[in-house]
Copies of this chain bind each other. A is one copy, B any other.
Amino acid sequence: MLLYIQFDSEVPIYQQIKNQIIRAIASGELKLGEDLPSVRQLAADIGINFHTVNKVYNQLKQEGWVVIHRKSGVMINPDLKAEKTKEYIEYLDEIIKNISAEAYLRGVSKEEFMNIVEKNYDSYNVIKGD
């Protein structure tokens, strides 16, 4: 798995890594139960401090995306079933409110906006034979 980090981005590095791992799970690039690189390995690959990777893995674990075994390292949670909680739906609604307001004011038509959303959702929502 390749990670593309923008070091000059406003988005913190640890957040960029989290985003890309979650996207890779959604797209099937990372299978459930698959091993992730070790903290030091990934840090070296990207060229960042290993504390940053550590933070990523710990947050992913807390949110249920991965499991961490003392010995075997980190793997994508084989029993992954992230929950569609009420809080998450509220958060989702709130963030969509913000995004769609600016998109609307910037002249992104409804059709164009829905197309972007659908295209991206569909990129994950495929029948995966693994």
* Copy total for this chain: 4
Give A contacts to B, CB under 8 Å. Answer: 7-8, 12-13, 19, 22-23, 25-27, 62, 67-70, 80-84, 88-89, 92-93, 95-108, 110, 113-114, 116-118, 120-125
Q: How far is the CB of A122 from chain B (nearest CB, A)?
A: 7
Chain B residues near A96: list those with CB within 8 A.
99, 116-117, 120
Given contacts A116-B96, A121-B110, contact A82 B70 (CB under 8 A): no
Given contacts A114-B118, A117-B114, A121-B110, contact A22 B81 (CB under 8 A): no
**Contact of B124 with A101 in the complex, beta carbons under 8 Å:** yes
**Contact of B107 with A124 in the complex, beta carbons under 8 Å:** no
